[in-house]
Chain A
Amino acid sequence: MSTTSQELDQKQAVTALRRKDLLGIAELSPGEIELILDTAEAMKEVGTRPIKKVPALRGKTVVNLFFEPSTRTRTSFEIAEKRLSADTLSIAIGTSSVVKGETLADTALNLEAMSPDMIVLRHASSGACHFLSRVCRSAIINAGDGMHEHPTQALLDAFTIRERKKQLAGLKVAIVGDLLHSRVLRSNIHLLTKLGADVWVCGPPTLIPTDIRRFGVTPTSVVEEAVRDADVIMLLRIQLERMEGAYFPSLREYFRVFGMTEERLLLAKSDVMIMHPGPMNRGVEIASEVADGPYSVILDQVANGVAVRMAVLYLLAGGVEHEEAAYGRASRRSRERD
């Protein structure tokens, strides 16, 4: 690559994500993450105006394709799309229609025949977004795929931390809960380690993924170790059905060993932030006093979700416009290969 085209690339990187899709944090560079977070700051300002609307995505069609129940994420995306003036529609497909026989690829190709620009996908299968990105020409935004990634959640978490702490580098972040089944965990690990945070993960050994150290984090099953001097504590939802897999004996016992109580909170830094991606199980992973207490930023996370998703949509739309010709070719090629 010549010097001039490198310079050109850097210039473009300031205004657009040079990619067709947002499949996960794993693929993003620290620079791209910073770009999204910076853009989200501007987008947050839009939400404070009396008329909360900008024309950035006018004439673009965005389909929210949700194969799993979701209130928070879907609403957040819808509001973000509307604030950017996109034409949006949301399709909630129960798993039952999959049983009826249409494959994910066929569903997506049928939608694509109606020429949307972006598809926001939530799906129970890890890798569903990677799969669709190979089949579809539209930009794919991952709104949560199985146990793999939930990139916009990690971005809004980082945005919320950055708002308070200015930067992520050097912060001790403790993530406590069901690590094994959590897509929020995986996206957050990628993002936090890329931006230089010291990440501790904590849960019973039954719920810690294999070889977690290779992700560059410190695992522990002693919650006090994880939260000691932490700048940020992030709780992950404990799914009630996990008891059936014998991952732990009871919710009561989980709370006893890992629950975030006011006493445990005292071990953390005095300006600790308490975060939760929701939905919360009060009295399981988090005591109500902590969730409702002064350190909790849980509702700020939800508020920031809209700004961060506006940023992602805006940047990807710019990317699509910019790279239309090139990505069109690549997408057709991959379809032929399939």
Chain B
Amino acid sequence: MKRLLTGGRVVDPANGIDGVHDVLIEDGRIARVGRDLPVDDATVLEIPSGLVVCPGLIDMHVHLREPGQEHKETVASGVASAVAGGFTAVACMPNTTPVNDNANVTLLILAKAAEAKLAHVYPIGAVSKGSKGELLADIAELKQAGCVAITDDGHPVATALLMRRALEYAGMFGMPVIEHCEDPSLKGDGVAHEGFHAASLGLRGIPGAAEALGVERGVLLSELTGSAFHVAHMSARASMRAVRNGKDVGVRVTCEVAPHHFTLTDEALGSPIPYDTNTKMNPPLREAADRDAMLAGIVDGTVDVIATDHAPHHYDEKKVEFDRAPFGIVGLETAVPLSLDRLVHSGLIRLPRLVELLSTAPARILRVPGGSLSPGSPADITILAPDLKVRIRASQLRSRSKNTPFDGWELRGGVAATIIHGRTVYVNPEMGSGVI
């Protein structure tokens, strides 16, 4: 079966393509990208002008909550949310119940993903058994079952020694270690960024240094071991400095930033809704100088990836006193509008750079298929509508949880459609019927 996507602006930074091209899909794979390709027996799909065809977006940091926390999210609801957000693949964190520290859990997640037949799911295994920070998990077994990286996300790897071992051992399989960077003693029982707003609201603070210490540790140990180290959900300006310094001397460090950390600041703790638990996440929303450092890192290339840290929580869990609420917000369906609005339309970066951040780089870091429209790659394609007027409505999210601070926001740019293995799995109803 052949499909020919014609008339769209194709942006494929891996192949240096940015222009109006046709994309020929054959048997679920990219056959060719070029100008005026022959139609032959292909079904033609006219892409309206103004839309952008790019390699499928990959979110390398999501919490799908299954097994064990299905009231928040399931693999099925999570991948439905993913494709509605333009993501053709997600990598899911191991802090499920039980923890994904063995092949049984990995295989269960993969089976649920196969059943859902939407976005690809790449499980990420635990560094340590039960993520307890004592013994290494069976990493070869995890790798064989399908895990693409390891992390004890939710918490940092307990000791420098265990982190060193994890880097050395996982390095053997070419798996990066992804770290939730945080010094637990400095974080303490903090619930918000340590700054003026937390002080004013009487919320216990978490200083940026708590994160940066973890980043520094990881960079040093990556240098020591020569293995790949990836900083999850980076938020503090001192962390950015540590990554930049590491890259400057050739350390194999990469990092990701979440849309909420390049969009919001700790001012959101107090307004428009004081103590809104949807402004509570870890790492916390930081002050303007930190947010600006995230933007600067995105512009200058220090930041490799935009990842959402999609963290669904049931409304019962969030409808409590601020300090009792769990950390985290959903992000899969708001990432593209926030990125287009805040990064591209603001003039900070251009579209090819955004595609690199959302597709090319995560594919490279996790060593998974996709990230380009090279012939032979799976036909995982996201069609962006950069000028679509989007209004975020929490109640309309596909995710099982609605915990977002962006409810009611109006943004410029969205997702038109999502194609996986050549099959259209999502069309934005806002685009009007029959457009795609």
Contacts and interface: CB of A to CB of B under 8 A. Distances in A.
Chains A and B are bound partners: yes
Interface of A: 26, 103-105, 123, 125-128, 130-131, 134, 145-149, 183, 186, 209-212, 214-215, 338
A186 B200 contact: yes
A214 B202 contact: no
Interface string B244-285: 000000000000000000000000000001110000000000
25 contacts: A103-B319, A104-B320, A104-B321, A105-B319, A125-B321, A125-B322, A125-B324, A126-B323, A127-B274, A130-B274, A130-B275, A131-B320, A134-B273, A147-B202, A147-B203, A147-B204, A148-B202, A183-B202, A186-B200, A186-B202, A209-B199, A210-B195, A210-B198, A210-B199, A212-B199
A177 to B, nearest CB: 16
B390 to A, nearest CB: 21
A135 to B, nearest CB: 8
A212 B203 CA distance: 14
Contacts of B195: 210-211
Interface string B120-134: 000000000000000
A130 B199 CA distance: 16
Contacts of A338: 319
Interface of B: 194-196, 198-205, 273-275, 316, 319-324
A149 B202 contact: yes
Given A148-B201, A210-B196, 9 more contacts: A123-B321, A126-B201, A126-B202, A126-B203, A127-B321, A128-B321, A131-B321, A147-B203, A149-B202
Nearest to B315: A338
Contacts of A127: 201-203, 274-275, 321-323
A125 B323 contact: yes
A211 B323 CA distance: 21
Contacts of A103: 316, 319-320
A201 to B, nearest CB: 12
Contacts of B201: 126-127, 148
A210 B324 CA distance: 22
A103 B316 CA distance: 9
Contacts of A148: 201-203
Contacts of A210: 194-196, 198-199, 205
B233 to A, nearest CB: 22
Contacts of A147: 202-204
Given A126-B203, A130-B274, A186-B202, A214 B196 contact: yes
Nearest to A126: B202
Contacts of A145: 202
Contacts of A183: 202
Given A127-B275, A130-B275, A211 B199 contact: yes
Nearest to A26: B200
A295 to B, nearest CB: 30
Nearest to A181: B202
Nearest to B205: A210
Contacts of B200: 26, 186, 215
Contacts of A131: 275, 320-322
The 5 nearest A-B residue pairs measured at CB: A127-B275, A148-B202, A147-B202, A125-B321, A209-B199
A128 to B, nearest CB: 5
Contacts of B204: 147
A78 B198 CA distance: 32
A148 B202 CA distance: 4
A176 B202 CA distance: 18
Which of A104, A127, A134, A214 is most buried by chain B, counting CB atoms within 10 A of its CB?
Answer: A127
Nearest to A104: B321
Nearest to A133: B274
A212 B200 CA distance: 9
A127 B196 CA distance: 16
Nearest to A67: B321
Nearest to B322: A127
Contacts of B320: 103-105, 131
A26 B275 CA distance: 14
Contacts of A105: 319-320
Contacts of B273: 134
B323 A146 contact: yes
A316 B172 CA distance: 69
Contacts of A134: 273
A166 to B, nearest CB: 30
A188 to B, nearest CB: 13
A131 B274 CA distance: 8
Contacts of A215: 200
